[in-house]
Structure 1
Amino acid sequence: MSQRTLNHSVILLLITIFIVSVNMRPAITSIGPMLDIIRDDLSLTNAQVSLLTALPVFCMGLFASLAPVLNRRLGLNRSMYLMLFLIGVMTMLRGVYSNYTSLIVSAVIIGIAIAVMGPLLSAMIKQSFPERSTSVIGVYSFGMGVGSSIGAGLTAIIYESTGSYPFSLGIWAVLTIVGILFWKLSTKGTIRVHQQEKEKREYGKTGTVSPWRKKKAWLHLLFFGFQASSFFCIITWIVPVVTDAGMSLVQASMLLSLMMTIQIVLNLIFPLLYERFPKRKFWLFLFLTMGMIAIVLLGTGISTLMWVSAFFMAIPLAGLFPIALLFPLDATETAEDTNTWTAMMQTGGYLIAGFLPLLIAIIYDWTGNHHNTLMILAGLFVSMFILTFLIGEREQQVNRA
């Protein structure tokens, strides 16, 4: 294979990773702008309608461990085709049936599909780009940021144009068609994350300790859970929080769009900076400090300061997720181990992340204000500060010192 053909294949694979990762968020974030409309149309409580965003995240945790199993049984290629197909069909279902049962069923199956795709993509990046995994994780996280942003920002615009929230939710199935086409173009044959066959023949096992018995893996799990919780809590509840403080719905939607636009840009920039300046603790402290400042500004209830908070909050939303994805890559040597560590981290982490937005909904139904919402967000950032000290710098960097 010529160098030109090789470069073409690499570029196509990077584009595919981006497009596939875009598909992993709109089905979740598109619900947020429609929460009040769905709640009123179907006569639901805040807690009931919040299940539409909480259940996919719960499933992303409960079923992340399916990724290594499906890799062994079907291979990465067939697994990704199946998961993209499920996301597309379930998203389309929302556009056809506008009842609570269909929304709940689609939320569960979409969550399972995303649960499997995440660890497999991380492992494939480790295997296909061993020397540039940090940069490629940036492409992955950038795609997810774009998916989150278009789901959160454009759904309301589509609804205003069509007057149909089922259509506004179902339209995102188009993205999966593009994802399947690009996956077919860039991958051939049956792809699997390589197994350590030599070690298995010699020792009868991989010789590695399960991440569930590693203290560092548990710290990664908690950190991933708290950063994912902060993301889903903010995406789901930032509009109600600022409207509760006096903003109009239009202003609140614009604030969310501003925050997501800034996040998209930073999602691409930050991973490149991580590779050039690899001190993990420095970046984590910076992002967490920005998040705390944003929460304080939101808590003032002053319109101008809440707009400024959108900029500060976009920084941790963009920066924390790609760093959390790098934790398993830093701690492991092989793609198989990366797959296992990532599956564990996302299993527990997304279970935590599914619970917190639902807890906010329950408390809001009970109290009628969002003071406790801000307190929960502040608690998440303080907890991540503590975990940053416990996790320390990446092992490979320490070993080189």
Structure 2
Amino acid sequence: MENLRATARPAVWLMFAIILVGLNLRPSMAAVGPLLSAIRGDIPLSFSVASLLTMLPVMAMGLAMFFGIGISQRLGEQRTVLLSLLIIGLATLSRLFIESAAELIASAVLAGIGIALIQALMPALIKSRFADNVALCMGLYVTSIMGGAALAASLAPLVMVQTGSWRSGLAFWAILALLAIVFWWFQRRQQPSTEMAAARKDWFLGNSRAWLLAIFFGLGTASYTCVLAWLAPYYVEKGWSEQNAGLLLGFLTAMEVISGLVVPAIANRSRDRRVILMALLTLIIAGFCGLILSPQQLSLLWPCLLGLGIGGLFPMSLIVSLDHLDNPQRAGGLTAFVQGIGYLIAGLSPLMAGVIRDRLGSFEWAWWSLTAVMGVMLLMVWRFDPRHYARHFPSSR
């Protein structure tokens, strides 16, 4: 019994460290939306240019995802996480000194690169260290990502009010990076080093199922990035204060946290994830329709539905990818490919919505477009029959 406890303790500390790391992966983007009107009052930004603050880091995450596994092989997973947290922390802290749109965008891209390095290696790390509870641990990890977004969206306007500066509202979140660096540094000595085998990227490039998984992840994440960028500005245009609009986005991300915890735990009971995926997509469609048709009435219901749907869809998209392969290194390579292509797709969403807003004067058509995308994803879900997974990757199981 004593040996069992001694073995379990490092795993618990590692999971807690992963949660702290996850909290750092969205504040650099989530804090922007609620503060956008204040930023635009100080720095001239069209909605199209403002969309780059979400689009470019997401695109950087996609591009860097392809190099993340290779970097972690050279540096080791422990050093890679520390380096990534340092990049995120410095990029976030630099926003205290920003004087132009170019500097603000550069800080967002730098943070995106740090985020991508972590996201590239974390699924493989979780699958190798928590092989018996992959869905649950992935749920905790992804939930921590959404929790960081909820904190930043809710509290960034409060930090701005207290300090009198939107720059402080953006830079404050470097504290999370410092906390994660300290904790990861001290727990790393308890963890055995894991060799990560090289993943053949050309193998995934020629695999149609890998592309289907990547497109599915990208379209689902497009709804997340667009809501993250534009929900708060949408409600500010409806007459809400920045603080209340930020709290509404925080409420949505809090619903994502709840869904991210509950849905993977439920999904852990069966390898067939299709019914759950369809239910999540239906929630998102209902949320977007409410956002368009009745944004002021039942204004808490629509973000609730969106949050529950998006919050479950994000981890489930990664879990379905992990389900296809038993080998942790191969599964990690596949999820890196899925996220790399997926984030390149998702990164276009905020830009397209910003252009729609500049041209048509409203975000409603962006919400309608995303509703149609969710309908397409409902059709894609039926392809994820676990009985057929082996045929798509026959040489790697």
Moved more, 233-242 or 158-167: 233-242
Q: Spell out the pairing of 1:14-163 with structure 2 (5 A cutoff).
A: 14-163=15-164
C-alpha distance in 1, partners of 2:236/2:38? 15
The aligned residue for residue 308 of structure 1 is: 301
> Which one of 217, 232, 242 corresponds to residue 235 of structure 2?
242
Partner residue, 1:166: 167
Retained in 2: the 8 A contact 1:281–1:393?
A: no
RMSD after superposition: 2.3
CA distance in 2, matches of 1:328, 1:279: 12
User: What's the counterpart of residue 256 of structure 1?
Assistant: 249
Aligned residues: 390
Task: Name the counterpart of 1:321.
Answer: 314
Contact 1:295 1:309 in 2 (8 A): yes
Cα contact 2:157–2:242 (8 A) shared by 1: no
CA distance in 1, matches of 2:78, 2:72: 8
8 Å Cα contact 2:150/2:251 also seen in 1: no
CA drift at 1:243: 4.1
SS in 2 for 1:263: helix
Pair 1:194-2:171 in alignment: no
The secondary structure found in structure 1 opposite 2:193 is coil
2:152 is matched by which residue type in structure 1? G
Is the CA contact (8 Å cut-off) linking 1:22 and 1:143 kept in structure 2? Answer: yes
Q: Residues 105-134 of structure 1, C-alpha deviation per residue, up to 9 Å, x if partnerless?
A: 211111111111112011101111111111
Q: Aligned pair in 2 of structure 1 residues 274, 193: CA closer, same or farther (>3 Å)? A: farther
Q: Structure 2 matches for 1:325-336, cutoff 5 A? A: 325-336=318-329
Aligned to 1:303, the other structure's residue is in SS state coil
Where structure 1 has 5 or more consecutive residues not aligned to the other structure, the ranges are 197-205
Query: What TM-score results when the alignment is normalised by the length of structure 1?
Result: 0.91
1:106 to 1:190, Cα distance in 2 relative to 1, 3 A = farther
What is the percentage of aligned positions where both structures have the same residue?
28
Note the alpha carbon deviations across 1:9-56, whole angstroms, 9 max, x for none: 111011011001111111111111111211221112111122111110
Equivalent AA in structure 1 for residue 84 of structure 2: M
The one-character-per-residue Cα deviations of 1:194-250 (angstroms, maximum 9, x if unpaired) are: 328xxxxxxxxx899811111111011001101111001112111233344455545
Given residue 240 of structure 1, which amino acid in structure 2 is its aligned partner? P
- Compute the displacement of 1:268 (Å): 1.4
**CA separation in 1, counterparts of 2:372 and 2:111?**
29
Are the aligned partners of 1:327 and 1:394 in contact in 2 as well (CA < 8 Å)?
Answer: no
Contact 2:153-2:247 within 8 A present in 1 as well: no
For 1:134, give the aligned amino acid. A
Does structure 1 retain, via aligned residues, the 8 Å contact 2:44–2:101? no
User: What displacement does 1:396 show?
Assistant: 6.1
Question: Partners of 2:273 and 2:391 in 1: how far apart?
Answer: 12
Distance in 2 between residues matched to 1:38 and 1:207, nearest whole Å? 43
In structure 2, the gaps of 5 or more residues are 393-397
Q: 1:90 to 1:249 in 2, by over 3 A?
A: closer
Question: Which amino acid counterpart does residue 127 of structure 1 have in structure 2?
Answer: S
Code of the residue aligned with 2:204 in structure 1: it is P
